[in-house]
Amino acid sequence: MINGHGGSALFDSYEQERRAVALTSIQHSGIHMETHFALSRFLGPNPHAVVEDSDEGRAIRKRIHDHYQANKGENTDLGIEMDHRHKSCVYPLPNDVDGQEPEWNPARYVPSTFVGSRAPHVYLKDGSSIFDHFGKYWTLIEFSDRQDDKREVTTLLDAANAIDMPVKHVVLCDEENARKIWHSPLVLVRPDGHVAWRGGKLPDVESVEEIVKIVSGRKAGPWGETNTDEQAQGLGPFAATEGMGSQVDGYKLEKMGVMQS
């Protein structure tokens, strides 16, 4: 926006994208908190027994061990950590090439270039990271091999250039592993590393111009109508909040502790 490369729809997209991610993270933070709250049930009226060399102590430690093995998402939920998927007004709707969106699982990261996903990391044959080839702003990754006919991508580059949207075009030849993980021959990546568009080939000129206007925020796309609360993955009533109050009304800055300030 500051450099004139984006349109005003970028402002609207921020909450649409980040609120859903934040709600999901908050919900699972509550779930993880409940895991720790459960310790009081295991310790019972004699908490000191947990350190004793006794049948009771061993039984308590066994229950605690089994509990954390069954509820270890705080340390293993890679879906929460890595699998952020956006839906907002700066994304065109997925096309036929995209197919079905991969199922989201809080405990599992699914590398995908499905529109809105974070472009997955992969090492190339020369040992470099695919991220090292990204441009400062948008990046168009094209996978090719010696047998392929050269794809015509100038329509997208020209359309982007016409609206001052900087795109770095990166052609990767004979990168079978990366191509398999990235799925599509053409992938347009945003400056923040999320996939803006992908396809087997570029659509007609008019559609390409529509795509670059949407991803750069110069025109609002149809995904902006999606409710951000509905986007939150696995969201139900907030965990670990029943009976809790709020300190907002009586909160005073001067009451903050030394570490907080």
Domain-embedded: residue 260: no
The label of the residue with tokens 């021959």 reads 185
Q: What is the pLDDT along the chain (261 residues), one digit of tens a residue?
A: 888 888 899 898 988 888 888 888 888 888 888 888 888 888 888 888 888 899 988 998 999 999 988 888 888 888 888 888 888 999 887 765 667 788 888 888 989 999 999 999 999 999 999 999 999 999 999 998 755 555 678 899 999 999 999 999 999 998 999 999 998 899 999 999 999 999 888 888 898 999 999 999 999 888 766 555 555 555 555 555 555 554 445 545 555 554 444
For residue 247, tell me if it sits in a domain: no
pTM of the full structure: 0.78
256 in any annotated domain: no
Residue 84 lies in a domain: yes
Distance of CA 44 to the CA centre of its chain: 40
Q: Which residues pair with 105 in a beta bridge?
A: 108
Domain count, the chain: 1
Residue 90 in domain = yes
Q: To which residue do tokens 């060399």 refer? A: 53
Residue-range definition of the domain harbouring residue 132: 9-236
Q: Confirm whether 244 is domain-assigned.
A: no
What CATH number does the domain containing 117 carry?
3.40.30.120
How many other C-beta atoms are found inside a 10 Å radius of the C-beta of residue 164?
A: 12
Q: Are 226 and 20 in contact (CB under 8 A)?
A: no
Token reading at 75:
């340390």
| In-domain check, residue 136 | yes
Q: Nearest to residue 125, comparing CAs of 190, 174, 182?
A: 174
Q: Has residue 198 been placed in a domain?
A: yes
Structure confidence at residue 74 (pLDDT): 83
Evaluated on CA atoms 55, 61, 64, 69, the torsion sign reads negative
